[in-house]
């Protein structure tokens, strides 16, 4: 599964370099949003989904289990 996440990460890095849109302003989304802006908005959504997949599939669960076995709940102190 980690290889799949690696491939998705590399693919996202490649599509982030959207050199095919550098000199274009068309097609416009909703008639006024240039392609470069809405492309990067879609890219941000894709990056968020990828990070969610990382947390879902690659988060080190043994660290969470170790804290529960410890029996000590850490209290969160407010930031001043």
Output 68 or 31, whichever has higher pLDDT. 31
- CA 47 to the chain's CA centroid: 3
Q: Which of 48, 40, 35 is nearest to 8 (CA)?
A: 48
pLDDT tens column, 34-66? 888 888 899 999 999 999 999 999 888 787 776
3-state helix, strand, coil in the chain (%, to 5): 65, 0, 30
3-class SS of residue 40: helix
Contact 30, 41 (CB under 8 A): no
Give the Cα separation of 4 and 67 in Å (integer): 29
Please say if the pLDDT value at position 79 is more than 70.
Answer: no
pTM of the predicted model, to two decimals? Answer: 0.68
């Amino acid at each position: 599964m980690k290889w799949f996440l690696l491939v998705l990460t590399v693919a996202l890095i490649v599509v982030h370099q959207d050199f095919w849109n550098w000199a274009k302003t068309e097609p416009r989304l909703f008639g006024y949003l240039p392609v470069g802006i809405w492309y990067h908005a879609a890219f941000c959504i894709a990056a968020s989904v990828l990070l969610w997949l990382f947390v879902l599939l690659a988060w080190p669960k043994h660290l969470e289990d170790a804290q529960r076995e410890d029996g000590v709940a850490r209290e969160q102190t407010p930031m001043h």
